[in-house]
Amino acid sequence: MKTTTETAEVLNDLIQINNDRIEGYEKARQELKDEDADLKTLFLNMISESQKYKMALATEVSAFGEDIETGTTNSGKIYRAWMDVKALFTGHDRKTVLNNCEFGEDAAQNAYKMALEEEDIPSNVRELISEQKASLRVSHDEIKRLRDAQA
């Protein structure tokens, strides 16, 4: 049986990914133009989604008696720095912002996939992770659809 500390580490990794996602969408909202109100609203919904998931994961970590992660991943920080550099050269058009968002959504899917590959995670935790991954997949597909619709 996986120790509670190891399970909490997996959950904390997912909390960090959701923190990355929140910061990424906040940054993306800032990069958009006023006429991109539809995307700004969508990104606000995705920020809210990750805040909700983060709280559910944190509740489980707390139940294990472990500390809850509050930061972001190093790769998330690198990703946001890359968005800054890329924006200098490519501007803040919808397609670029959506491309960057899809990159982040791919990272989130990968993190959740890796979490589900961990053995001996309690079934209730596995179910929570699986449900969040499925919901995040819907968000990923929406970002991809919007990106592909850009000229």
The domain ranges of the chain are 4-149
* 57-89 tens-digit pLDDT: 999 999 989 888 887 766 655 555 555 555 554
Reported as a pLDDT band with limits 50, 70 and 90, residue 99 is confident
Q: What is the mean pLDDT of the chain?
A: 86
Quote the pLDDT of residue 1: 44
Please compute the mean of the pLDDT values over residues 16-27 and round it to a whole number.
89
Quote the pLDDT of residue 71: 76
Quote the pLDDT of residue 97: 86
Reported as a pLDDT band with limits 50, 70 and 90, residue 27 is confident
Proportion of the chain above pLDDT 70, given as a percent: 85
CATH 1.20.1260.10 assigned to domain 4-149? The reply is: yes
Q: CA–CA distance from 134 to each of 2, 71, 83, 109 (Å)?
A: 24, 24, 26, 9
* 3-17 tens-digit pLDDT: 788 899 899 989 989
Q: Is the pLDDT of residue 28 over 80?
A: yes
